[in-house]
Structure 1
Amino acid sequence: MRQLSTSGAAAGRTARKMIIDAHAHLFDAGYFPPAWHDRTAQRWAKAVYPPRDPADIRPNIERGFVDKDGSILMAELDRAGIDAAVCLTLDWALVVDDLSGVSPAEMMQHYAKIAEMYPGRFYAFAGIDPRRPDGLEVYERSVREWGMRGLKLYPPCGYFPYDDVCLPFYEKSLELGVPVVIHTAMVSWPMNGRFAHPTGVADVQSRYPDLEIIFAHSGYPLWAEEAIHTAAGHPNS
């Protein structure tokens, strides 16, 4: 795995071990497709009693996510005494069949600019649904040209981590020398949790023993034991 370099603003922290938040997110407007906001509004509206009108909730959802220049994230890191964060790109377009939002390539180019703004404090992983026709090409560019440090896969969007469509991404990760983060925890609608069980990673481990695999969320809370044992049985998980 590539080492996270400590330069610029991080120079003063090299005398001690850095504290890194290895699972963060940062969003701008359009990073979630409109259909995702629609469905989330429906779910959140029914999560309270009496139920609310989704139309009243919908306008506020995206507003609460947006952190265009990363300043909110940096303030949170400072408040918690954390040196740096690793942002995991999310590509949720296909699960709601809505490609009208910001593309993964645009997100990752944005993250590359954020990394330049906060040297030594902000890093990012690529995030691409492997079913996208141009996904593998975009992934390689994201690492070679935009500085992404690895790959984040989100199987609850509708595929298993061992599906054939994922295999070229693992092989490319080995070629690039970067790790793969795989979501392994229960999720909410419109995602499908059956694709996220941590034992689904076992086939990937068996096929690619040299691939560095990170179990996002470590199966918590339902599958923590399964995630621990699945990871422990592999030399690079």
Structure 2
Amino acid sequence: MSDLVIDAHMHVWDASWLPEGLRRAWARQASGRRLPERDPEILMDRVAVGQSDPNAALTTAAFDRAGVAAGVVPVVDWTIVGTPGGRHLPIGELNARYENVCAANEGRLYFCAGLDPRHGNARELFAAALEHPHCKGFKLYPAAGWDLADEAHSWLFDELQERRLPVVVHTSPLGGDPLQVARCRPAEVASMMSRHPELRVVFAHAGLEAWWAEALDCATGWQHAYLELSLWQRCALTDYPEFRRRVRRMRDQIGAHRLVFGSDIIRGPREDPDGAHLEEWITRVRDLASSHAGDPPVLSTEELALFLARNAVRLYDLKEYA
């Protein structure tokens, strides 16, 4: 059984780090989740506060409880889609903030810099992010309103491919106001890969929920495509046999060496503050190497080790855990 665990998709932030326009959109989402609908303005002071852990103290304590060696934070650049509106932390400053958090938690946290390529100084932001020692790649979020196929952005993929840096692309229909989720369909990522076949591409969330089979099919046949299963605890906890069936299909179709473990937990006082949910998710994944209700093991112990940590160590060049 593998002891090493890397949570390759999790978040650390403070509510004040998020653009006000984005928080207003989240308040609008929350206001309509039940009847009677509420005034979004009365929710503004509560948005993301329960998911705030700016110094990662709760996160590292949860890691210790769940036996997680380290985590990778994919930073999202919401600074264009999150405007107009009030307070605004520029993406360069946000990436620098993550460098500081990772440095203060040496060996436990790393990050992929966020970048919306529509910024007028995007090339300078890219170069600045590369100067951060704990930056292990880049996170792209086309749902913020830009197109992976836009030739104006091809320089970014050329640079990433040349530098052999991984790029994490959101590939889930989950999002809502104000996002354009169709721009991050796995098929759009596959088209981008055809133009940059040596690029190391991580399908973040592996299409959960509606696009998971598309994500798998689009990742098939590409040497450097990875399916990252953060948020998949939703499937594992509600229908564990179905979760096992899907992971078995992934292993058979692209190989266990291209599956990456993650949680997408945004830890704070109201989201898994003590790490119990993370611990349960890891247990469900470990059980893939065992029989269940007459179903044979989905992964061998060696394949489980790849999924839980070794693929992330290789992909993100986490030398400390090699």
Bin for the TM-score computed over the shorter chain: 0.7 to 0.9
Matched, 1:125 2:112: yes
Find the aligned partners of 1:139 and 1:17 in 2 and give their Cα distance: 35
Q: Deviations along 1:73-106, whole A, 9 cap, x unmatched?
A: 2122223221111001111121133374111111
Conserved in 2, the CA contact under 8 Å of 1:123 and 1:148?
A: yes
Aligned residues: 222
Q: How does 1:206-221 map to 2 (within 5 A)?
A: 206-221=194-209
Matched, 1:81 2:67: yes
Aligned residue in 2 for 1:143: 130
Match of 1:71 in 2: 57
Question: Which of 25, 37, 57 is residue 11 of structure 2 equivalent to?
Answer: 25
Within 5 Å, which residues of 2 pair with 1:38-77?
A: 38-77=24-63
Task: Give how far 1:167 is off.
Answer: 1.2
| AA at the equivalent of 2:54 | K
Deviations 1:28-47 (A, max 9, x none): 34321111111211220111
Q: Distance in 2 between matches of 1:203 and 1:195?
A: 12
Q: Residues of 2 paired with 1:76 and 1:22: CA distance?
A: 15
Give 1:54 shift.
Answer: 1.6
- In the TM superposition, residue 192 of structure 1 has moved relative to its aligned partner by 1.1
Whether the 8 Å contact between 2:20 and 2:82 is mirrored in structure 1 is no
Larger displacement relative to structure 2 (21-30 or 195-204): 21-30
Give the TM-score of the pair, scaled to structure 2. Answer: 0.65
Q: Give the whole-Å Cα distance in 2 for the aligned partners of 1:230 and 1:195.
A: 15
What CA RMSD, in Å, does the superposition of the two structures yield over aligned residues? 1.7
Match of 2:172 among 185, 201, 208: 185
Residue 222 of structure 1, aligned match among 203, 206, 210:
210
Equivalent residues of 1:33, 1:102 under 8 A apart: yes
In the aligned structure 2, how far is the partner of 1:177 from the partner of 1:67? 31
Q: Is the 8 A contact 2:96 2:132 kept in 1?
A: no
Secondary structure at the counterpart of residue 149 of structure 1: strand
- Tell me by how many angstroms 1:141 deviates: 1.8
Segments of structure 2 that go 5 or more residues without pairing to the other structure are 226-322
TM-score of the aligned structures, taking structure 1 as reference length: 0.87
Query: 1:146 offset after TM fit, Å?
Result: 4.4
Higher mean C-alpha deviation, range 102-111 or range 16-25: 16-25
> 1:108 and 1:96, CA in 2 relative to 1: closer, same or farther beyond 3 A?
closer
Shift in alpha-carbon separation, 1:98–1:78, aligned structure 2, 3 A: farther
**Which range moves more in the overlay, 72-81 or 182-191?**
72-81
Q: Does structure 2 retain, via aligned residues, the 8 Å contact 1:109–1:146?
A: no
Which of the pair has the greater relative contact order for Cα pairs under 8 Å at 6+ separation?
2
**Residue 98 (structure 1) aligns with:** 84
* d(CA) in 2 for partners of 1:50, 1:157: 29
Identity of counterpart residues, as a percentage? 30
